[in-house]
Structure 1
Amino acid sequence: MSDFLRIFALCQIFASVPVFADKIALLVIDVQNCFLPTGNLPVADGDHVIPVINDIRRKYDNLFSLVVFSQDWHCVDHVSFASQHSGKAPYNTVILQYNNEGMLCDPTSQCDVEYNITQVLWPDHCIKNTTTAEFASNITKKNSDFIVKKGYHCKIDSYSAFFDNGGFSHTQLDRKLKENKISTVIVTGLALDYCVFYTAKDAKKLGYNVYVVEDATRGVANSTSNGAVKDMNNRGIHIIQSDQLEDIMDKLTSLGNILQGLNCFWYIVNFVITVDLVHSLASL
């Protein structure tokens, strides 16, 4: 009986350590100096997402199997910059043409156009290796967090943390999530109507269970933000507020604790059966 009690006590200890039915990743999208109110491409109230994201980490960091920061990382002459298009101003749009290999077609040369991609032209922003491209100084960030750079191809933009805007190339993000057996992603950051939106769409398309924490995001414009939220809802992406996370995290992780208990119970049953068998054989 003493051995049985020891096994039971061990199971009680093991049961206090969560085993997650869903492995969850927190995605923090582009919370960089360039997108804050003092940046080159300011998102209104973009700095307001920082305390919300920090609070999410304070409360639930131990439940995240992975935390990912995406980082816009542009060359100085990036094709998305209005400064690279004569006669164009920031927030104008142009059509960029690409061949079947994803190469930008130069209007002055012959090119077999396969793809036409609408591009919003932005102020120069998030230029790599500058302070504007650095993460906000007051956001909670740890050495264990994984950084995904995007937008580093000079001839095509990349709103999504998974793919460029033409789907010609991909980042390391999907591979990293799969390596860590992630099934659910919780998306926060900037901006709701562009990089958060495209990241969430691609995550859903790749088969992940996707939550967007709306109050941990801000958008460039109300009209495009409202459209993005409607589109994500239609795709089955969960649009939530941070105060809903407690219940959501509990639901995502509670099945794992049940499974932990069942495993422990099964271990006890096998132990009892083995002890009974040993005693039976000893009495022969």
Structure 2
Amino acid sequence: MDTKYAVLVVDMLNDFVTGALKCDRGLAIVPKTAELLRGCREKGIPVIFCNDAHIQNIDHELKLWGDHAIAGTPGAEVIPELALCSADYVVPKRRYSGFFHTDLDLLLKELGVNTVIMTGLHTHMCVRHTSADAYQLGYDIVVAKDATDSFTEEDYQYGLKYLKEVYGAEITDVDSLLESL
């Protein structure tokens, strides 16, 4: 079976990079993430943004993290540096996983995808939970280690180790990935 990729960009939103749940380490991955997205778009590989889009005063996750990425607000928008384009897909999510009660699996199946390239924030939370569901649904997982991060180095490394050991994720960097696609 041929490998058919899609890039999943998890929570690269204003509130996660510069806003309510700002992650300084998130700024560091923006250039490599943008490079990966440009390269994949040029090769016809689908880019799918899995974005928190919470309902204020309703969503369970807000009890733990406070208001962030409220649907329809600037905080819930993709950061401008990643240049969301008309060929990209956006899957709003209300929990950590991009698959939980969304149409992400249906979209990937309709696109013929069997391998997801994980990028974004945070390797130990939303990237991890999205990867968990991807694995359970039968997708192979590749993690672009220089296009993912977490609040701390410890959380980042823990997340990568978990993804590799538990889901068999291939951990690579953007340059190597672009060369292999």
* Structure-1 residue corresponding to 2:105: 174
Write out aligned runs for 1:144-183 (5 A): 144-151=87-94, 158-163=95-100, 170-183=101-114
Partner Cα distance (2:119, 2:148) in 1? 6
Is residue 2:1 matched to residue 1:69?
A: no
Identity of aligned residues (%): 35
Q: CA deviation at 1:25?
A: 0.5
Shift of 1:41: 0.5
Mind listing any 5+ residue stretches in structure 2 that lack a counterpart? none
- For 2:5, the aligned partner's letter is I
Q: Is the CA contact (8 Å cut-off) linking 1:27 and 1:68 kept in structure 2?
A: yes
Separation of aligned partners in 1, 2:10 and 2:121? 6
- CA offsets 1:11-55 (integer angstroms, 9 cap, x no match): xxxxxxxxx92221111111100001x310011221222211211
- 2:130 counterpart residue number: 199
How much does 1:236 deviate?
Answer: 0.5
SS of match in other structure, 1:135? coil
Does 1:239 find its partner at 2:171? yes
Query: What's the RMSD between the two structures over aligned residues?
Result: 1.7
Write out aligned runs for 1:241-260 (5 A): 241-249=173-181
What is the distance in 2 between the residues matched to 1:140 and 1:128? 19
Bigger Rg, which one: 1
Cα 1:246/1:79, change in 2 over 3 Å? closer
**Mapped partners of 1:58, 1:75: distance in 2:** 31
Tell me, yes or no, if structure 1 residue 26 matches structure 2 residue 7.
yes
* CA displacement at 1:137 relative to structure 2: 1.5
Partner of 2:144: 213
Q: Secondary structure at the match of 2:46?
A: strand
Q: Counterpart in 1 of 2:82?
A: 139
Aligned to 1:79: 60
Deviation digits for residues 58-102 of structure 1, max 9, x if unmatched? 3332334421011101122132234xxxxxxxxxxxxxxxxxxxx
* Contact 2:40 2:47 (8 Å CA) reproduced: no
Q: SS where residue 41 of structure 1 aligns?
A: coil
| Equivalent residue letter for 1:233 | K
Q: Work out the CA distance in 2 between the residues paired with 1:50 and 1:223.
A: 20
Q: Identify which of 73, 78, 89 aligns with 1:130.
A: 73
| Paired position in structure 1 for 2:38 | 58
Aligned equivalent of 1:44: 24
| Matches of 1:146 and 1:159, distance apart in 2 | 18
TM-score (norm 2): 0.91
Q: Which residue of 2 aligns with 1:118?
A: none
1:66, 1:146 → 2: CA distance?
8
Alpha-carbon distance, 1:204 to partner: 1.6
**Aligned-pair distance for 1:229?**
1.5
Q: Is the 8 A contact 1:23 1:64 kept in 2?
A: no
**TM-score normalised by structure 1 residue count:** 0.59
Change (3 A) 1:64 1:202: farther
Aligned residues, how many?
Answer: 179
5+ long unaligned stretches in structure 1: 1-19, 83-120, 152-157, 164-169, 250-284
What secondary structure sits across from 2:61 in the alignment?
coil
Paired residue secondary structure (2:87): coil
C-alpha deviation, 1:248, in angstroms: 2.9
Which runs of structure 1 show a deviation greater than 3 angstroms over 4 or more consecutive aligned residues? none
- Note the C-alpha offset of 1:247: 4.0
Cα offset for 1:148?
0.3
